[in-house]
Structure 1
Amino acid sequence: MQRFADLLDRLILTPSRNGKLRLMEDYFRAVPDPERGWAVAAITRDLDIRSVKPAMLREMTAERVDAELFALSYDYVGDLGETISLIWPGKRGANYQVSLTEVVETLNAMSRTEARGTVATWLDALDPTARWALIKLITGGLRIGVGARLVKQALANFGGKPIQDIEELWHGLAPPYTALFQWLEGKADKPENAMKAPFRPVMLAHAIEEADKPRIDLSENAFEWKWDGIRVQAVAEGGQTRLYSRTGDDISNAFPDLVESMEFDAAIDGELLVYDPAEPPFAVRPFNDLQQRLNRKTVTKAMLADYPAFIRAYDLLWHDGQDLRGLPFEERRALLERFIDTEKPARFDLSPTVSVKSWEHLAELRANPPLDAIEGLMLKKRSSVYVPGRPRGEWWKWKRQPFLIDAVLMYAQRGHGKRSSYYSDYTFGCWRQDENGTDELVPVGKAYHGFTDEELKRIDRYVRNNTIDRFGPVRSVRASKEEGLVLEIAFEGLARSKRHKSGVSMRFPRISRLRWDKPAADADRLETLEAMIPD
């Protein structure tokens, strides 16, 4: 367990992507099977230990620590796992160091009642760092700035294999991935992917900068709208149907209405959107409506009826046993058009192409798209084959400029992982008149990125020095006409929302600048945001 705890600790404290990759590669070389495989499953959050829940750990801690002391500690630390790991009293003479493999295999064979005493024994013997790792492991709460794709890249580097080979195998593998490691070390053949409807790594586009324009020949490209949804891959093969996110996560359970409509043998690359059932076919609704369907394990009948999903198809990757990725985009597009026309899949339509005459025309289309559900344009070289990753010069994206407003910091909350000691999650507000005609701040959004480490430290000091109230891990800060920190917020769009006090919901808000120079009284008003909402 200590080796795994040391890996997590170093991953959290290592800011660079390459540094994290090296740490994982070194761990894979030093640690034997099946321990390294269980570590992979834990970091990618593919490990499900059902015999231990956070409430059980809280109860166990309450039996050993004064309730008021625990409450004060939790308020200061802001993370349950970290609080327990630091405050757990331990036990004199307890020195048995449990291994990662033993933790997983033991708890998976236990009931919750049996697990309670076993986990307590382990916590008694571990130091705070290893306790934290154990708690996060068994509760599935690992947030250490390492995504599943970065782990797959580390595995690819470790074995000297293309990452797309690992991505295509991934959903046919199971922890602790012994066969995968045997292949990566050259001790066995490549595992066969017997799973039907596999994920195929996606092809991505580069954002257009001014310096890129002279190198892009518009006559060589096809043009499409960039729709404001989420990129997905819909795959159906031999009766198996799966819906994948762009990173290869299986999200089928969240979209049963869509998956049930996939009565074909094909792999389609497209944009997941929500349509209005009362409007003409596939009238796209705002991204805020799509968010009602995202990150859910189960979906109610009401949600399926109110927010029906569909896919706007971009590309055809595989059809009737034929891998089409090696064909030029122009040919794949023609096959996709024929597929949509002949198969007529119920929850799919075709992303239309756009006629472009010049860069000036392209800029005009980008600034004034025909629908608010469009966030820019895509340029795809007609000769481009479909390859994983982001090949230079093949596909380009040109998104609309973000919206900008000035808002006032109202609340701050502690972050996770390496930010757990800082107030790094911010709620900000704009001015409006209350029922008495007095200006008040009303929350309009939250942001937790867009600033440097130095700026984070400066905001954290401001929060601590200007706190006026506390609500658990959240602090309320001074925010009035006379005092307050103004944040310039960039965001992609707005929608009306009944769930928010302000009545608006922001799309992808982030901090663009810190306006230390601007008086809080000069921040934007809610009316300014409301005027940005499309009719």
Structure 2
Amino acid sequence: MRAFAELLDRLSLTASRNAKLVLLRDYLRSTPDPDRGWALASLTGELTFAAAKPAMIRKAVEGRVDAVLFGWSYDYVGDLAETVALIWPRDPDHRPNREPELGEVVEALRTAGRGEVAGLLEGWLDALEPKGRWALLKLMTGGLRVGLSARLAKTAAAMVRPATVSEPPDPDGGEAAVALEPVEVSEIEEIWHALEPPYGDLFAWLEGHGDRPDAEAPGRFRPVMLATAIDEAADFAKLDPADYAAEWKWDGIRVQAVRESGVARLYSRTGDEISGAFADIMAGLAFEGAVDGELVVWRDGAVAPFGDLQQRLNRKTVDAKMMAAYPAVIVAYDLLSENGEDLRGLPLRQRRARLEAVVADHGGDRLHLSPVVPYADWDELAALRADPPVGAAAEGLMLKRWDSPYVAGRPKGPWFKWKRDPHVIDAVLMYAQRGHGKRSSFYSDYTFGVWTRDGALTPVGKAYFGFTDEELKQLDKFVREHTVERFGPVRSVRAERDFGLVLEIAFEGLNRSTRHKSGVAMRFPRVSRIRWDKPAREANTLDDVMDLLDALESGGGRIGTAQG
């Protein structure tokens, strides 16, 4: 457990992507099975414990520490695992004689009933030092927050492979060193859904003493191809419009629908299966192969606003009433496999022709074709991007080379995304909350609001990124100096007509929401600028926001852009 705790601690304090990769690679190389496999599973989000809950942790610590003292400490630290790790008082009469191993903890949690976990937890906390306690609690709750994506963890796993491996002893002259081919992260993603933690077969293959795990299971996920953001100033001068197909960048979620040998599955872009929440789609698909596309709600012959799709997201199951009110479809834009044939190596032009034939032959209304957008030059395409005829259903354009194969990852050049400029409003900071991990000492999560007709502020969103580390320090200082009320880890900040901090908020879209007091919810809000110069009274109003929402629902409209 100590090595895993050290890994998490160093990852959380390391900002560099390459440094994180080296840290994890070295850990995976030096740590024996099964601990390294369980560590990889936890970092990729594949490890959960149904019997372990945050409330159980809180109950355990309040059994040994005064509840008021713990509450104050939690308020100051802002993170449950870190607070418990620091404040936990060992039982001197029952301290175990050794620290638990990571694999030992995982196996115990996987088999323990809810009534047994509390006793295990207390024993482990007594055995561990503060850093180990923190790692244990993060492992149990799944909230690692060490700045490492699942794909980056798989990239580090690919780097485990050594340059050479020794063959078994030869009767005529000892061991021979055999060169190994490097492994790309896409190869691991290709077989990932055929693997089970703690990934002994994966590491055996990576280290050259086992066969590559079989990835040919029907219904498997294919690693997705991603686009890079286009640099208008630099890229367009080098690109020929005739080389690129243009499509709308639909405002839904990227999915992969697979139907092979009787196995039907729907995956998110990260490979998470979401079939259960979209049983209506799965029942309405009839092709044999794998389709890459966008999951949207389809109404009145067109893609509906993202807010409609949001009603169906993050649900394990959906009833018939919800399915009827928000009918979901797949807008297809690529064909990865057909009748057992892998098409990813073919150029886009050929894949597109075969996709068009599949959609044309497909019955029902659950599969639609994403149309190619005709254009003569970049100026014409820019005009379409600025005022798309499909309205708010498109958040921009995709540009794809006609000769590009389907390559996992984000290669530079074959595919570009050209998103519309974000909407921008000026809002007033109302509340601030402590962050997590390395931000736990700062007020870094900000709730902002706009003015109502009666002169009050109403919250319209929350943002926790878009600012630099130096700006975070300035924002944190403002919050501390102008706090008017405290609610646990949340502070209410002074916000009046004649005094308040204005934040320029950029966002991708608006949706009507009955769950929010303002009646509106923002999509992907972030702080684009701190308006130290702007009086609070000049921030936008709720009427401004609702006017924009009306305009978006009717096919256009903006308050401003990030350049404004």
Q: Which amino acid aligns with 1:338?
A: A
Q: Which amino acid aligns with 1:140?
A: G
Q: Which residue of 2 aligns with 1:342?
A: 361
User: What SS is found at the alignment partner of 2:202?
Assistant: helix
Trace 1:195-214 onto structure 2 (pairs within 5 A): 195-209=217-231, 210-214=233-237
Residue 401 of structure 1 pairs with residue 403 of structure 2: no
CA distance in 1, matches of 2:11, 2:368: 43
Query: Deviation at 1:312?
Result: 0.3
Q: Which amino acid aligns with 1:347?
A: R
Q: Which amino acid aligns with 2:158?
A: A
1:172-209 CA distance string (max 9 Å, x none): 10000000001111111111125321111111222221
Residue 266 of structure 1 pairs with residue 282 of structure 2: no
CA distance in 1, matches of 2:517, 2:435: 24
Residue 529 of structure 1 pairs with residue 545 of structure 2: yes
Q: Which amino acid aligns with 1:184?
A: L
User: In 2, are the aligned partners of 1:235 and 1:267 still within 8 Å (CA)?
Assistant: yes
CA distance in 2, matches of 1:115, 1:530: 49
User: What SS is found at the alignment partner of 2:303?
Assistant: coil
Match of 1:305 among 305, 324, 328: 324
User: What SS is found at the alignment partner of 1:372?
Assistant: helix
User: In 1, are the aligned partners of 2:494 and 2:500 still within 8 Å (CA)?
Assistant: yes
User: In 1, are the aligned partners of 2:225 and 2:406 still within 8 Å (CA)?
Assistant: yes
Q: Which residue of 1 aligns with 2:443?
A: 423
Match of 2:109 among 91, 107, 110: 107
Q: Which residue of 2 aligns with 1:154?
A: 156
CA pair 207-109 structure 1, distance change in 2 beyond 3 A: closer
CA pair 326-275 structure 1, distance change in 2 beyond 3 A: same
CA distance in 2, matches of 1:471, 1:305: 41
Q: Which residue of 1 aligns with 2:62?
A: 62
Query: Deviation at 1:85?
Result: 1.7
CA distance in 2, matches of 1:322, 1:477: 60
Alignment RMSD, CA only?
A: 1.5
Query: Deviation at 1:330?
Result: 1.0
User: In 2, are the aligned partners of 1:432 and 1:441 still within 8 Å (CA)?
Assistant: yes
Identical residues among aligned pairs (%):
59
1:358-395 CA distance string (max 9 Å, x none): 22211110000012111111221111111112222222
Query: Deviation at 1:465?
Result: 1.3
User: In 1, are the aligned partners of 2:427 and 2:505 still within 8 Å (CA)?
Assistant: yes
Q: Which residue of 2 aligns with 1:442?
A: 458
TM-score by length of structure 2 reads 0.91
User: In 1, are the aligned partners of 2:246 and 2:399 still within 8 Å (CA)?
Assistant: yes
User: In 2, are the aligned partners of 1:78 and 1:472 still within 8 Å (CA)?
Assistant: no
User: In 2, are the aligned partners of 1:96 and 1:122 still within 8 Å (CA)?
Assistant: no
CA distance in 1, matches of 2:248, 2:154: 31
CA pair 222-290 structure 1, distance change in 2 beyond 3 A: same
Query: Deviation at 1:288?
Result: 1.9
Q: Which residue of 2 aligns with 1:176?
A: 198
Match of 2:507 among 491, 499, 523: 491
CA distance in 2, matches of 1:237, 1:119: 44
CA distance in 2, matches of 1:508, 1:495: 12
Q: Which amino acid aligns with 1:232?
A: V
User: What SS is found at the alignment partner of 1:158?
Assistant: coil
TM-score by length of structure 1 reads 0.95
Trace 1:258-407 onto structure 2 (pairs within 5 A): 258-276=281-299, 279-280=300-301, 283-344=302-363, 346-370=365-389, 371-407=391-427
Q: Which amino acid aligns with 2:128?
A: L
Q: Which amino acid aligns with 2:83?
A: T
1:335-377 CA distance string (max 9 Å, x none): 0010011123541100011110222211110000012111111
Match of 1:142 among 141, 144, 147: 144
Query: Deviation at 1:17?
Result: 1.0
Match of 1:216 among 225, 239, 242: 239
CA pair 450-245 structure 1, distance change in 2 beyond 3 A: same
Q: Which amino acid aligns with 2:88?
A: W
CA distance in 1, matches of 2:84, 2:313: 31
Q: Which amino acid aligns with 2:190?
A: E
User: What SS is found at the alignment partner of 2:296?
Assistant: strand
User: What SS is found at the alignment partner of 1:255?
Assistant: helix
Trace 1:12-23 onto structure 2 (pairs within 5 A): 12-23=12-23
Trace 1:75-90 onto structure 2 (pairs within 5 A): 75-90=75-90
User: In 1, are the aligned partners of 2:75 and 2:489 still within 8 Å (CA)?
Assistant: yes
Question: For structure 1, which runs of at least 5 residues remain unmatched after alignment?
Answer: none
Question: For structure 2, which runs of at least 5 residues remain unmatched after alignment?
Answer: 162-181, 555-564
CA distance in 2, matches of 1:289, 1:129: 44
CA distance in 2, matches of 1:230, 1:52: 31
Trace 1:470-489 onto structure 2 (pairs within 5 A): 470-489=486-505
Residue 454 of structure 1 pairs with residue 470 of structure 2: yes
1:94-115 CA distance string (max 9 Å, x none): 2420110110112222222222
Trace 1:18-37 onto structure 2 (pairs within 5 A): 18-37=18-37
1:471-507 CA distance string (max 9 Å, x none): 2221110111122111111111222222211122211
User: In 2, are the aligned partners of 1:442 and 1:501 still within 8 Å (CA)?
Assistant: yes
CA distance in 2, matches of 1:43, 1:397: 29
CA distance in 2, matches of 1:421, 1:77: 7
CA distance in 2, matches of 1:345, 1:215: 42
User: In 1, are the aligned partners of 2:296 and 2:331 still within 8 Å (CA)?
Assistant: yes
Q: Which residue of 2 aligns with 1:238?
A: 261
CA distance in 2, matches of 1:298, 1:422: 38
User: In 1, are the aligned partners of 2:287 and 2:358 still within 8 Å (CA)?
Assistant: no
CA distance in 1, matches of 2:26, 2:208: 17
CA distance in 2, matches of 1:298, 1:467: 42
User: In 1, are the aligned partners of 2:348 and 2:406 still within 8 Å (CA)?
Assistant: yes
User: What SS is found at the alignment partner of 2:234?
Assistant: helix
User: What SS is found at the alignment partner of 2:140?
Assistant: helix
User: What SS is found at the alignment partner of 2:5?
Assistant: helix
Q: Which residue of 1 aligns with 2:534?
A: 518
CA pair 194-364 structure 1, distance change in 2 beyond 3 A: closer
CA pair 96-299 structure 1, distance change in 2 beyond 3 A: farther
Worse overlay, 249-258 or 522-531: 249-258
Query: Deviation at 1:143?
Result: 2.1
CA distance in 2, matches of 1:362, 1:194: 41
CA distance in 1, matches of 2:521, 2:395: 17
Q: Which amino acid aligns with 1:83?
A: T
User: What SS is found at the alignment partner of 2:322?
Assistant: helix
Q: Which amino acid aligns with 1:8?
A: L
User: In 2, are the aligned partners of 1:224 and 1:352 still within 8 Å (CA)?
Assistant: yes
User: In 2, are the aligned partners of 1:91 and 1:125 still within 8 Å (CA)?
Assistant: no
Q: Which residue of 1 aligns with 2:558?
A: none
How many residues are aligned here? 527
User: What SS is found at the alignment partner of 2:392?
Assistant: coil
Query: Deviation at 1:16?
Result: 1.3
Query: Deviation at 1:44?
Result: 1.4
CA distance in 2, matches of 1:105, 1:191: 23
User: In 2, are the aligned partners of 1:145 and 1:417 still within 8 Å (CA)?
Assistant: no
